[in-house]
Amino acid sequence: MDEKIISRVDLMKICKDVIDKGNTLLTPGAADYYVVKDISDIILDTSALPSKISHKSYVFPRTEPVLYYKRSKNDVQLIDINIDSKKIVILGAKPCDANSINIMKHLFNWDHSDEFFNKRANNFMVIGLMCSHFDEYCFCTSVRSSPVSEKGSDLFLIPVDINNYALKIITEKGKEFISPYSGYLKPGDEKNSKLITENVRQPEAAFDSSEVYEWLGENFESPKWEGVGNLCLSCAQCAFVCSVCHCFDITDEDYSYTEGRRMKNWDGCQFGNFTLHASGHNPRDIQSKRYRQRVNHKFRYYVDRFGEILCTGCGRCSRGCPVSIDIKEIVSNCNDNQKEFLK
């Protein structure tokens, strides 16, 4: 891995060039990731909390057509969609967000390769930024990450003083992106940036994810799910703000008797009708079963299938929950039960 020094002024020149070339430059704000139109809007604050909503919709839109159709008496004509292939540079992604596309890639390339997701994911360039602040909802260090994790970033920034960043070149994609701007780069000092990252305050690990994994496998019918099930409103806010929740459904929308479009829309496993069968039977008919599914999917099933935890520890779902359900607390509780269970 190569490390350089870049001044904030020169970094902004690169950002301007990205915009001038017609690419999309995204950066996190307090509420959402936003498209930068003017570089004076860029903040790059290591002490900001994760935005309320993740950048997920730029790679996996809330709703999108996957094909159009035309029906005639004896035929159905299918019309392909042109997938938007614009390059998206995401500047200042927090480490908990930077790896989310990689985590979702497993699902979107499992039994079917989703060209919509893949085309956008391949066009993403992630410039991660070290994080220096956490609140009571953050738990990246419990899910195999940290405020200085470079996982998922193509380039990674560490502020070394008020005007300069250490710029780590992590991937080939990052190297390719930065090479036209090599005139802005000065030799780096790895010892200095290491010292900075080693001294960053990190959230204390709240649970051991492998103990949680074990507990979930042994306690599918635990009465503990009832407590959270009674509280949860089934609003699925938690799924919609999450950077790695990826449930969707497919619906056909007819414009007329002869024309329509097939839509892919976000869905959420906390909705009561998510698993409702056409027969009227619903295997997850009460909220406790749906919340149990959420935790099992993230901390057990996804690990079984892809070797990854389906959670980055960003804490968004808990910060925004209207009834203050805190996933960190729920999962830590599973861990405490596991410890008791092992006694």
Binding footprint of ligand SF4 on the chain (CB under 6 A): 232-238, 241-244, 270, 298, 311-317, 321-323, 325, 327
Closer to ligand SF4 by CB, 31 or 323: give it. Answer: 323
One-letter amino acid for residue 321 of the chain? C
Least gap, CB of 270 to ligand SF4 (angstroms): 4
3-class secondary structure, 292:
helix
Contact indicator for 254, 260 with CB cutoff of 8 Å: yes
Residue 121 CB: number of other CB atoms within 10 A? 19
Residue whose C-alpha is closest to residue 44's, from 61, 60, 25, 58: 25
Least gap, CB of 144 to ligand SF4 (angstroms): 12
Vertex 169 angle, CA 168 and 175, to 5°: 155
Closer to ligand SF4 by CB, 192 or 234: give it. Answer: 234
Closer to ligand SF4 by CB, 270 or 288: give it. Answer: 270
The Cα 199–Cα 185 span in angstroms is 25
The Cα 280–Cα 113 span in angstroms is 31
Q: Which residues contact 15 (CB under 8 A, 6 or more apart)?
A: 25, 36, 39, 42, 89, 91
At residue 224, φ and ψ (nearest 5 deg) are -60, -30
Least gap, CB of 249 to ligand SF4 (angstroms): 17
Least gap, CB of 137 to ligand SF4 (angstroms): 7
Residue whose C-alpha is closest to residue 217's, from 161, 295, 290, 280: 295
Least gap, CB of 47 to ligand SF4 (angstroms): 19
Least gap, CB of 320 to ligand SF4 (angstroms): 6
Closer to ligand SF4 by CB, 151 or 173: give it. Answer: 151
Closer to ligand SF4 by CB, 49 or 242: give it. Answer: 242
- The tokens for 146 are 């940290």
**Ranges of H-type helices in the chain:** 8-20, 95-98, 100-108, 115-122, 172-178, 190-198, 209-218, 224-231, 237-241, 287-296, 302-306, 316-320, 327-342
- The tokens for 74 are 């004896």
Least gap, CB of 166 to ligand SF4 (angstroms): 27
Closer to ligand SF4 by CB, 165 or 266: give it. Answer: 266
Closer to ligand SF4 by CB, 4 or 246: give it. Answer: 246
Closer to ligand SF4 by CB, 153 or 193: give it. Answer: 153
Least gap, CB of 309 to ligand SF4 (angstroms): 9
